[in-house]
Amino acid sequence: MRKTLLTTGLFMLGMSVFAQSINFSNGQVTYNFPAETAGEMVFNGNTITVADRVFNLDEWSRIKVNDSEISDNKVMIHFSHNGASVVIAGNIANYVEASVNGGHVEISQSDDVSASTCGEITYVLEGNTNDGGLTLNGSFKSSIELQGVWIENPSGAALDIQNGKRISISAKSGTYNYLKDGAGNQKGALSCKGHLELKGKGDLVVVGQQSHAIYSKEYVEVKNLTLSIVAVKDGINCNQYFLMESGDVLIDDTGDDGIQVSYKDAVDREAEDTGSITISGGKLEIITTADAAKCLKAEGDVVVSGGTLGLTSNANGIWDSNKKKTKASACIGADGNITISGGEVELKATGSGGKGISCDGVFYGNGGKTTIATTGGLLVYSNGSLNHNYTSDAERINSDYKSSAKGIKADSGVVITDGEYHVTTATNNAEGIESKMDLEINGGTIFVKAYDDGINSSKDFRVNGGDLTVISIVGDGLDSNGNLYINGGYVRTMGSGGMEMGLDAATESGCAVYITGGTFLAFGGSNTYPNKSGSTQAFVRGSGAIKADTEVSVKSGDQVLATFTVPSEYTSTRGGVAFGPGNGPGGGGWNPGGGSGNGSIMISCPELKSGQSYTIVNGTTTSTATATLTSSGR
């Protein structure tokens, strides 16, 4: 036997000047050595040494000389329905061990791999299997290239990466790649112990049948990739942070959240352990249907600075029996702050109590274009059961036992400085924008048409700039449970009539409206007028009915000082209150085109001088009013 092997070895040495590579194989695992780099092969009893790799000839019994070639630092893994095969580049022969069992491949990358030894190793996957998978162990960063691979693993993860370092997975341009898991205790069809970077200009589909589709113990980054995800739990579940820079991601048919990010360690956090979701580019589409699920859910902050987001929550709310309170779904939810500074964001929430944006921190609107529509009913828990479309008066129901749909809800404040916002709600108790603390608008173009209050703050409310159009169907336009400051901007705010106002401050708590700037028209059944010193800009007040698509203005003689066009979405006609989309009173503009409901008209602009008389023009009707800094009543 040894003589035969020696003869074979001498033959290979003689052929090496003509052949490209020498291959040592054991079953389905092959080490490929380029002939010109193999050097002297040393026989020693039952072993042969090639490029410092020692092969036991009792195991490595197939030695082949051929024209095959593999690049340095690469491992080629080919899957087929007959099983898998692995070819390992000769220069990393001392650093990679592989085993194959049918279509299942396990790779062990030596802990000696480092920048000073062989450097990063790339694993190339191709072929098809409906009973296979890859397990990768190691302690140094590595890359995986998907070159048209289809892996279904009926008994575990399709890719199980036990390497705790940075793992780059690239779907190569022009390729379609598919990963699907099966029964097991894995956390994802694509499961990674380290940092996961998903990129490439190809397509990747990941189906999580046991848990999440993609799971990473640390962060996940997406760039360029076209990624489609289906999962019985979260689409993507990771710790530290999620970052999308570019690409096209579709997450549909998940049993829980679309993307969920948690803190890796709640106490001893690393610098990157932010629990955040950041979208700076690309196209992201998520549709969720699971009760109380969120399209984006972060324990930290959510930041959108670019890209196109289409997030749809078709999920109803639930009763949380542990916390003894209702829990609603949301398109974007964060335990920290939510900031939108760029991109185009379209949010739709159709489930009971569903929110477009919901955060425990502050919502910052700094740019971009955001469209939010909620159509879900008021969620109420009563007598041991859930009502997903409660239509009666809910004023006296404990807040823990109800959850209403809202466009934007922020527990620690709202600050809007720039951008475009179009917010609509359609059901009982559904407010457009709500802050549980202070609310501040410094700029931007804002349109709100809400069933209940248009924009509501639990504490002080400041309008310093911006272009605001706010319509309420059965509530107030701008509603402050503290002081309401109008310091600038161009504002049209319309309450529904009756006791519902264009401007409403908490006078019952000693608060007031203060006007120091801006140009605004406020209409409602009544308005809160400044009744304390501190205002520096005068206003005029009148009464009447305003009609959609008509102009309301204030004049000094023949000079028009300010003019407003009543939005086509509004009418002051009030009908019987019947909660639910399409059945509300005319005050909300379900039936635009005019009306006869009288109310309070209030106008202010910098040109008004206290004590002087002006003309209010409402369509074809005129009236005279004296400007003042303060006024009693509402």
The backbone region for 388, taken as left when phi is positive above 0, alpha when psi lies in -120 to 50, beta otherwise, is alpha
Q: Any bridge partners for residue 489, and if so which?
A: none
Mean pLDDT value across residues 59-67: 79
**What six digits make up the tokens of 71?**
């690049």
Calculate mean pLDDT across residues 345-351.
98
Label residue 449 by pLDDT band (50, 70, 90): very high
DSSP 170-234: EE-TT-EEEEE--SSS-SEEEEESSEEEEE-SSEEEEEESSSEEEEESS-EEE-S-EEEEEESS-
First to last CA, the chain: 107
Of 380, 411, 422, 421, the closest CA to residue 579 belongs to 380
Burial tier of 397 (Cβ tally within 10 Å: 0-12, 13-18, 19+): middle
Residue-averaged pLDDT of the chain: 91
Mean pLDDT, residues 255-281: 93
What is the spatial distance between Cα 428 and Cα 379, in angstroms, rounded to a whole number? 10
Residue 489, pLDDT score: 98
More confident residue, 124 or 267: 124
Contacts of 376 (CB under 8 A, 6+ apart): 316, 317, 349, 350, 351, 352, 353, 354, 388, 405, 427
Residues 402, 382: Cα–Cα separation, whole Å? 9
Start-end of H helices in 373-474: none
Do residues 320 and 328 lie in contact, with contact meaning Cβ atoms separated by under 8 Å?
A: no
Phi-psi category of 580—alpha, beta or left, where left has phi over 0 and alpha has psi -120 to 50?
left
CA 622 to chain centre: 50
pLDDT of 6 above 60: no
Give dist(CA 32, CA 404) in Å, integer.
Answer: 65
What percent of the chain clears pLDDT 70, i.e. is strictly above it? 92
Q: Please provide residue 63's backbone torsions phi and psi, each rounded to the nearest 5 degrees.
A: -125, 120
Q: Given this model, what pLDDT does residue 60 score?
A: 75
pLDDT over threshold 90, residue 56: no
**Whole-angstrom distance, CA of residue 214 vs CA of residue 144:** 15
The secondary element (H helix, E strand) that includes residue 37 is helix 35-38
pLDDT at 68: 83
Instruction: State yes or no: pLDDT of 65 exceeds 90.
Output: no
Rounded mean pLDDT of 392-408? 95
pLDDT tier for residue 325 given thresholds of 50, 70 and 90: very high
Does residue 134 register a pLDDT over 80?
A: yes
User: Between residues 335 and 4, which one has the greater pLDDT?
Assistant: 335
Spatial contact of 133 and 159, defined as CB atoms under 8 Å apart: yes
How far is 429 from 455, CA to CA, in rounded Å? 12
- Binning pLDDT at 50, 70 and 90, where does residue 609 land? very high
Q: What is the pLDDT of residues 243-261, one digit of tens each?
A: 999 999 999 989 999 999 9
pLDDT mean over 433-446:
98
Tokens of 398: 């404990």
Q: Distances from the Cα of 103 to the Cαs of 132, 176, 533, 583, in angstroms?
A: 4, 19, 81, 60
Phi, psi of 574 (to 5 degrees): -110, 135
Pick from 217, 156, 164: nearest CA to 186: 156
Q: Which residue has the higher pLDDT, 519 or 2?
A: 519
Find all residues with CB under 8 Å of 202, minimum gap 6, and list them.
Answer: 146, 170, 171, 172, 173, 174, 175, 176, 177, 225, 226
How far is C-alpha 605 from the chain's CA centre?
40
Give residues with Cβ within 8 angstroms of 360, minimum separation 6. 334, 335, 336, 411, 412
Asked if pLDDT for residue 632 goes beyond 90, the answer is no
Consecutive H or E run containing 445: strand 445-450
Burial bucket for residue 307 (CB in 10 Å: 0-12, 13-18, 19+):
buried
Q: Distance between CA atoms of 597 and 525, rounded to whole angstroms?
A: 9
